Structure 1
Amino acid sequence: MIIAEDLLLSYGAKIEYYEAGDIIFREGEKPKYYYQIISGRIKLNHYNEEGKELILAILHHGLSVCELLLFIDKTYPVNAIVFEPSEVIKLSKSNFVKMLDENPDVSRDLNKFLSERLYQKFIMLENNSSLHPDVRLLGVFDYHKSFSSDTDRYSYEIPLTRQQLASLTGLRVETTIRTIKVLEKQNVVKIVQGKIYY
């Protein structure tokens, strides 16, 4: 979902720059801003009681960050951590709501986008309950590729490391690596210089 930057700026948005490792917001904080990524990548994560990281998503250019929480009175259930140097446009919650009220077409587009994301999340969660590692990985691949307009085979570079894929799927890194090699032999993915293309 890309809301036009000039529209966001006309409602008082600011552009902010972040370095890798910067924290945009922490789990437990109240949402106060709409964030849209101009460049770079941001991960949404959570740490379990043993301190193990669970990555829920890695967001990139054009995507918004936890915008759905601006519509309810809940705190963030995740951390938003900058994955690589990023440029983000940031609009206050009150101005975001005002913008949607005054631009029903943008509000409709946002509702459609949120519905698509929720649908893909359901599919990914369903796949993550599978006992088969290939089903889990393909669920993550499908979810990430769903944000790309190019649906051709091998057209999408998976923006995740093997470790991150393991964290997203609850698999061991060794199982993830082994399964990706099997998927490559089955011509489901292509590996080029260590990058996974789906």
Structure 2
Amino acid sequence: MLVDVDLLFSYNGFIKTYSRSEVIFKEGDIPRFYYQVITGSVKLNHIGEDNKELIQSILREGQSVCELLSFIDDPFPVNAIAMSECTILKVPKPEFLQLLDEHHEAAIAVRKFIAQRLYHKFIMMQNNASKYSHVRIKGILEYFKSFTDDETPYSYEVPLTRKQLASITDLRIETVIRTVKKMESEKLLKIKKGKIYF
């Protein structure tokens, strides 16, 4: 867990359960809480003018959701949607900031998490600017795997469908399917029962 659960509870944290596809917060909402995923997964997305979904991140157990907005008063630039039934620990923003002031280790962990996410976002954006589909896809897979501790080949089960990979990389789904098969033949990833392992 990014921040100790008992510590979050001691600062007026509480659990809320969300059903699959339920909105946790919407783009334009004012951040009022710190959110930490206890179980399940959450996607951050943006719906473009053409009604096309752009998935910006997928968060899992132990990770926080848009924690950087705890430090500013701007509205959310994305939607947070439950990808599965999930439980989220919510802490009111003022109490969360007080927690960070009073608990140095927690403040360091949050800052480090934000820095790692920004670092990998920069790399992901550079990869998404490539004209080569394999560079875009490999960049996304590296970004998501960066949140795990196991860096061995094929240890990470990618929690994305081919359609979601297309959404994130701004590629056509046919291009993603063809590129993933080519990457498998080059031993950059494995496919088992339709799932991608990177």
Question: Taking structure 2 as the reference length, what is the TM-score of the superposition?
Answer: 0.98
Q: CA deviation at 1:2?
A: 1.4
Q: Which residue of 2 aligns with 1:160?
A: 160
SS at 2:24's partner residue?
strand
Q: Which residue of 2 aligns with 1:52?
A: 52
Q: Distance in 2 between matches of 1:184 and 1:51?
A: 31
Q: CA deviation at 1:113?
A: 1.2
Determine what percentage of the aligned residue pairs are the same residue: 49
Structure 1 residues 3-36: Cα deviation after superposition (integer angstroms, max 9, x where no partner): 1100100111001111011111000010000000
Q: Which residue of 1 aligns with 2:23?
A: 23
Q: CA deviation at 1:148?
A: 0.5
Partner amino acid, structure 1, of 2:10 = S
Moved over 6 A (4+): none
Q: Where do 1:18-167 residues align within 5 Å?
A: 18-167=18-167
Structure 1 residues 39-87: Cα deviation after superposition (integer angstroms, max 9, x where no partner): 1111111111111111111111111000101111210010001111001
Contact kept, 8 Å, 2:189 with 2:197, in 1: the verdict is yes
Q: CA deviation at 1:104?
A: 1.4
Q: CA deviation at 1:93?
A: 0.1
What is the root-mean-square deviation in Å for CA atoms of aligned residues?
0.7
Q: Distance in 2 between matches of 1:50 and 1:75?
A: 22
Q: Distance in 1 between matches of 2:105 and 2:85?
A: 32
Q: Distance in 2 between matches of 1:6 and 1:86?
A: 19
Q: CA deviation at 1:38?
A: 0.7
Q: CA deviation at 1:109?
A: 1.5
Q: CA deviation at 1:164?
A: 0.3
Q: Which residue of 2 aligns with 1:181?
A: 181
Structure 1 residues 140-169: Cα deviation after superposition (integer angstroms, max 9, x where no partner): 000000000000000000110000000000
Gaps of 5+ in 2: none
Contact kept, 8 Å, 2:2 with 2:109, in 1: the verdict is no
Gaps of 5+ in 1: none
